[in-house]
């Protein structure tokens, strides 16, 4: 949620941010108008309530000939106070409703445009030349079938499209990835967490997932609960309605959790295999920091993601995501995209977002800095989204005979295996 004082002081910045996101800048003026009504109605209510209190003190001391008039005025004031209070509450609710529709203010350095208008910041590693090696790469689904690792047919039979089973070494690979990712995060100072997969609407809305992303959220209406699409929701909600002493910051958590997404806007995209699915496991990093430290923390999260992908020995590029492709809560987002050989392009594997004070204001998470209490900043970063990482691992590390080389970082979690071998059928 945007600071209303900032909107009042610099509305042009907010309008420019809305335009950059591809959203309506007129919403800023609607918010300002509602905020003006809110402030006016609050002043009116306070004035009437003050007069009512003063009158209440005068009535017991009034002379009989004066008391009747005062009592009549007290009745008028009582009705006026009730009316003013209702107007104040309605104005506050309308202002809150409108300001929650505004996305976070985008960082000045974010490239403007849509999904394809990102800026490449860095390229790490070189894609393999399979032609020079003398064979055509198999895609992850064929490799997964040969290894006895992935079964999408039975996943569809049991649960529908975009569901899957990981079997044998596929299941072991997921566990290896999760354990290795959590180990890296723990070594970097993150507190490991296992979080709820179901959250209340307050946490889901507070993190910004019931706005433009609501179509991808699974809701259990009977219980008024939501299945999380990322443990970011539960990690942000962890300190909801709390005040954190500044000397405890930064607070860093890393959670492994199941994630659920409808993928409502992705019909026809990535229908083969497990690149885009409805349920998956993910290891997510989450930081609480002072607002003035959020940009530096954002870079640190990116470096941890790069360290992870480098440990898997995957070729990847880092992009600065364009304004039109930012989520509502992000002021800036960096993605790491791994090379997928059979697609001949880089695809998103990890993402890290600086949400500045946007989520903390909505979730009422503040920091106590001396005598001052103020909103803090929250940031998130995917360390390992398992299915997409499996896709990249299998395709980039495949060998001509259909086996798959195992990066050293995963071997301790796979019984020391250096290679995954096809199974006999």
Q: Just list the catalytic residues.
A: 261, 276, 348, 351, 388
Q: Enumerate the β-bridge partners of residue 283.
A: 256, 384
Structure tokens at 73: 């005025």
Paired sense of beta strands 332-340 and 345-354, if any: antiparallel
Q: Name 225's Cβ contacts closer than 8 Å, sequence gap at least 6.
A: 198, 199, 200, 219
For 30-66, b/e burial (b = at least 16 CB within 10 A) is bbbebbebbbebbebbeebeeebeebeeeeeeeeeee
Structure tokens at 325: 């492709």
Residue 256: Cβ-neighbour burial (10 angstroms; 0-12, 13-18, 19+): buried
Structure tokens at 4: 């209303």
CA 384 – CA 351 distance, rounded (Å)? 10
CA 28 – CA 102 distance, rounded (Å)? 8
Q: Name 187's Cβ contacts closer than 8 Å, sequence gap at least 6.
A: none
Number of H helices, E strands in the chain: 13, 18
Query: Crossing angle for the helix pair 169-187 and 140-147, nearest 10 degrees?
Result: 110
CA 23 – CA 297 distance, rounded (Å)? 28
Q: Name 263's Cβ contacts closer than 8 Å, sequence gap at least 6.
A: 162, 216, 276, 277, 278
Q: Name 315's Cβ contacts closer than 8 Å, sequence gap at least 6.
A: 123, 124, 125, 126, 127, 128, 338, 339, 396
């Amino acid at each position: 949620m945007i600071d209303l004082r900032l909107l009042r002081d610099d509305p042009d910045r907010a309008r420019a941010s809305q335009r950059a996101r591809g959203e309506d800048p007129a919403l800023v003026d609607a918010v300002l108008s509602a905020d003006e009504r809110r402030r006016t109605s609050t002043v009116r209510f306070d004035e009437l309530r003050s007069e009512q209190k003063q009158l209440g003190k005068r009535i017991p001391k009034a002379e009989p000939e004066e008391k009747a008039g005062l009592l009549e005025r007290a009745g008028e004031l009582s009705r006026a106070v009730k009316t003013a209070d209702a107007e104040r509450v309605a104005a506050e609710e309308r202002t809150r409703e409108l300001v929650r529709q505004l996305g976070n203010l985008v960082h000045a350095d974010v490239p403007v445009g849509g999904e394809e208008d990102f800026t490449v910041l860095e390229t790490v590693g070189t894609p393999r030349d399979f032609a020079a090696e003398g064979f055509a790469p198999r895609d992850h689904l064929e490799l997964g079938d040969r290894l006895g690792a992935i079964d999408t047919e039975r996943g569809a039979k049991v649960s529908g499209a975009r569901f899957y089973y990981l079997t044998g070494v596929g299941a072991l690979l997921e566990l290896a990835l999760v354990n290795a990712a959590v180990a890296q995060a723990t070594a970097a100072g993150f507190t490991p967490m296992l979080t709820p997969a179901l959250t209340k609407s307050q946490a889901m809305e507070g993190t910004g997932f019931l706005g433009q992303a609501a179509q991808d959220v699974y809701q259990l209406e009977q219980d008024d609960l939501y299945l999380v699409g990322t443990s970011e929701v539960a990690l942000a909600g962890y300190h909801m309605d709390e005040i954190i002493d500044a000397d405890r910051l930064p607070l860093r958590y890393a959670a492994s959790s199941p994630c659920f997404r409808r993928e409502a806007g992705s019909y026809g995209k990535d229908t083969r295999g497990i690149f885009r699915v409805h349920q998956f496991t993910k290891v997510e990093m989450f930081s609480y920091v002072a607002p003035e430290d959020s940009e530096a923390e954002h870079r640190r999260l990116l470096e941890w993601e790069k360290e992870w992908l480098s440990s898997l020995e995957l070729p990847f590029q880092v992009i600065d995501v364009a304004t039109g492709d930012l989520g509502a809560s992000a002021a800036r987002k960096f993605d790491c995209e791994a090379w997928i050989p059979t697609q001949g392009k880089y695809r998103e594997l990890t993402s890290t977002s600086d949400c500045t004070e946007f989520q903390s204001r909505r979730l009422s998470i503040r920091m106590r800095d001396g005598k001052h209490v103020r909103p803090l900043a929250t940031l998130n970063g995917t360390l390992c989204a398992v299915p997409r990482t499996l896709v990249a691992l299998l395709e980039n590390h495949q060998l001509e005979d259909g086996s798959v080389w195992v990066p050293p970082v995963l071997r301790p979690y796979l019984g020391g295996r250096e290679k995954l071998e096809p199974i006999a059928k």
